Amino acid sequence: MNSTAPNTEKLNYPKLFTWAINYLWTASKRHFVGHLITITIQVATEITQVWVAALVIDKIGSTLLSGAEVGNLYYLIGISVGLMVLDKICWVMIAHFERQLYLMGSSKSYQLFNGQLARLSISQHNNPEIRQLIDRLEYEGYAWKPLNFSFSIVYAIHAGMRFITSSTILLIQLPIVVLLLIIGSIPSIFIQRKSGDLGWGIWGDMGDGSRVFWGVSHNLKQKETIEEIKPQRSANYLLEQAHKAINTYTSKAMAIRTRFAKLSIYGALFEMFMAGASYLWLITRAVAGKVSFDNFIFMSSLIWQTLSSIRMVSTQVADALYSAPFMRDYIKFIELENDLPKPDNPVVLKNKPLSIEFRNVSFSYPNSSRQSLRNISLTINPGDHLALVGLNGAGKTTFIRLLLRFYDPTKGKILVDGVDIKQIDLDSYYAHIGTLFQSFNRYPLEFKKNITLNKRTNSAKYQQALEISGANSVLKKLASERTFLRPEFRNGADLSGGEWQKVALARNLYAGGDVFILDEPTSAIDSLAEKEIFDKLYKELDGKTLITVSHRFNTVRKASKIIVIEQGKIVEQGTHEELIKTGKLYHEMFTSQAKGYE
């Protein structure tokens, strides 16, 4: 995906139009159809109302000037009033259907965008160009802009129906008038289209500036990060960096808007000039006796209706054109396919303990020539308690990411029960695995739901997860399992980092089947609680596979096998006692950490 796409890629207007209609249709078929039927009735009512009004005025004029009998005047007035009432009812119903569609469409917008975020692969989330696209869509309003774009199309259709009915009648008697009115609207539409292209393209030119803005905005919203920002007195500097980034966009956007506002004035003046020419043409025809009085009134009303319809079409089309570059990129994002290759006939894993083998695995992250893992060969048998240790950046977390198939190896294979992981159904694979990363999630949910995540509740498994993780001590401090774990909720709880880590560990234990992956699982927990938790883990998970990544050696020394990784390679493996005797990297790291406790 090219970050300059907003400036260069052509717009597929038929696709955008089709997408907008389908968007509202799928949001609520009943309300969308009701809306279309109602606007059709309104258009027919309006044109009939104009015709009857012309007849009423002509009849009144004839009665006053020549003393003609009233005749059917009151009948015509009754019809006119009835049409006015019907027109009002139509507009009320149109507004009702629009409000209902807006509510349903807003919900659909959130579902589409957030659902796509969930579907993308980890590598796509780490792709800077996709991240920039997501930032642009969030800033411009992914929740409401697709809805507004779709309504602009519907409004344009409504105005277009009014234009067709009025202009069709005008074409029969005054075809040149319709031509003049259409010509008058062309400059305004062109100006608005060009403005939309340039305005949206600014985001593509910002590059890292947009990432700075969104990164700082995120930091200022998070309780954990603001607690560091406050004492460091760095808020003003961060705000300055964010404002610098957004002001670049704002100043360029304002300059474009100012420029096109001036051009829009010229477009409007030209439009009014052509409308004046249309009225002048009608007047000359009437003076020449070629248009009757009632027809003159009718044609005058039609000219005004045609002009207002063109303006409405022009305005709505201009709004749609302004949003079109956004919508092109929005649809492109929604249509992104997960880039992790899927097997044609995926192998569904059976409900039995897994064996996992890394066979000559090497890996480099996308757009990087550096090998994060180099020629890794390792077998993890069912029931192994494996620990990965090494210096920062050695490749431990990368190993876990490949094990979870967030990425595929650059070279070599990963086999699960003898089957290449690329050929395995990931849902059946993940059903065997519980994971806890150092940067674990803190969901805005109740205590119990934070652990079960709406999976079918197994009371025994749930209680075991609470006991092993120590999360039962957290629950005792809460009013109930239904207490929300965020202070912003009414009666919500504000947990410490260590308490949150216990909850996250319980979630891992509850989700896992026979393989548990713990990446720095107790980094925020005190040493006494940590020892107690790991004693329980090794005891209760006997017979299950446990893979631990940690810098704390008191958490890994009981592992049945310790793997030492250095610069992407396995340089040592064995038990704690065996590795201490070698005097190599493991011994060096262990003794260095042990001295810190002296």
Q: Which fold has domain 13-334?
A: ABC transporter transmembrane region fold (1.20.1560)
* Helix residue spans in 382-514 (DSSP H): 396-403, 426-430, 447-452, 459-469, 471-475, 497-511
From residue 307, how far is each of 277, 281, 282, 321 by CA, in Å?
12, 15, 14, 20
User: For the chain, what are the domain ranges?
Assistant: 13-334, 384-393+429-595
Contact 32, 25 (CB under 8 A): yes
pLDDT in tens, 531-572: 777 777 777 778 889 898 887 787 788 888 999 999 999 999
The domain 384-393+429-595 is placed in CATH, from the list 3.40.50.300, 3.40.190.10, 3.90.1150.10, 3.20.20.140, at: 3.40.50.300
Specify the 3-state DSSP secondary structure of 476.
Answer: coil
pLDDT in tens, 228-267: 676 667 778 778 877 777 777 777 777 777 777 777 788 8
Q: Which residues of the chain have pLDDT under 70?
A: 1-9, 58, 61-71, 192-211, 214, 218, 221-224, 226-228, 230-232, 455, 522-526, 596-598
Residues in CB range of 422: below 8 A, 6 or more apart: 341, 343, 405, 408
pLDDT in tens, 166-181: 888 888 877 888 888 8
Residues in CB range of 297: below 8 A, 6 or more apart: 53, 54, 57, 58
Q: What is the pTM assigned to this prediction?
A: 0.72
